Amino acid sequence: MPLTEAHVQAALAPRAVRFYDVADSTNDIARAWLHAGAPDGAAVVADEQRRGRGRMGRVWQTPPGAALAVSIVLYPSPAALPRLSMLAALAVCDVIESLGGEAVGIKWPNDVQIGGRKVSGVLVEAEWERERLLGAVVGIGLNVSVNFSDTELADSAVSLADVLEKPPDRLELLAALLARVDYWYARLGSAALYASWRARLVTLGQRVTAVGQAEPIVGVAVDVDASGALLVRDDAGTLQRIVAGDIALG
């Protein structure tokens, strides 16, 4: 079933939803809605997203009819804010596995992969008023039937249609994804969320290069802490705590 405003509103009721045939960035729309008083769990959905953002300033485009682009307004406590990226990645993993997807894992901190190729990205943006947290927007991009063959992403990206026996219906997929977001949001501070996220990390035990700090950190990813930071034993034997940045495996 195509994504239309009527279909999306009906499938997600009673959730507050704004739907766009074409949007530059669902996160930008959701952030503006947050400042205007959006209810907890409000979602912005676009059939096509032209200027979506990924982590580290990357562009995440959503071609029409081939992917999901959704941003959710949430109101966590400041202490729970780092867990929103765990929540989103877990929700995506749950949905893919429920459809029969295999070899699903998370590359730290929140890139969902199938067989080592990226199928989904997450961008969490917090909104502050000086030192007061107003809320946060959780943006999720999910490749459903994007064709990456003959592109520079052919070896690093994948769509659900490439790995599932039956291509999923995007409307059903959207509803299932938001249901899992709701599930984990209700358990945001739980040990179960952290344990489930940690168990799916494909980064642990691997040799990594972490960039985004003053100097790259090279070593072995040995663990993560409860706030989601990656712990890397560098080549000098020092345990480094990485809160943000980009990780290259190998």
Under 8 Å between Cβ of 74 and 167: no
pLDDT at site 166: 86
Distance of CA 214 to the CA centre of its chain: 26
pLDDT at site 214: 76
Question: What is the gyration radius of the CA atoms in the chain, in angstroms?
Answer: 18
For 96-148, the pLDDT digits (tens) are 999 999 999 999 999 999 999 999 999 999 999 999 999 999 999 999 999 88
Torsion of CA 67, 69, 72, 78, to 10 degrees: 100
Q: Cα–Cα distance between 63 and 104 in angstroms, integer?
A: 23
pLDDT at site 211: 86
Under 8 Å between Cβ of 65 and 40: no
Average the pLDDT over 207-226 and give the result.
90
Q: Cα–Cα distance between 133 and 9 in angstroms, integer?
A: 29
For 39-94, the pLDDT digits (tens) are 999 999 999 998 766 554 566 667 889 999 999 999 999 999 999 999 999 999 99
- The residue ranges of every structural domain in the chain are 5-200, 207-249
Question: Which CATH entry fits the domain spanning 5-200: 3.30.70.140, 3.40.50.300, 3.90.1580.10, 3.30.930.10?
Answer: 3.30.930.10
- Say whether pLDDT at 230 is over 90: yes
Under 8 Å between Cβ of 71 and 137: yes
For 159-212, the pLDDT digits (tens) are 999 999 888 999 999 999 999 999 999 999 999 999 999 999 999 999 999 987
Q: Cα–Cα distance between 123 and 198 in angstroms, integer?
A: 18
Under 8 Å between Cβ of 119 and 126: no
Phi, psi of 233 (to 5 degrees): -85, 110
For 4-51, the pLDDT digits (tens) are 999 999 999 999 999 999 999 999 999 999 999 999 999 999 999 987
Q: Cα–Cα distance between 215 and 242 in angstroms, integer?
A: 12
Scan for tokens 């990206």, then name that residue: 157
Is 207-249 CATH 3.50.30.10? no
pLDDT at site 59: 62
pLDDT at site 54: 59
Q: Is the pTM of this model over 0.75?
A: yes
pLDDT at site 2: 81
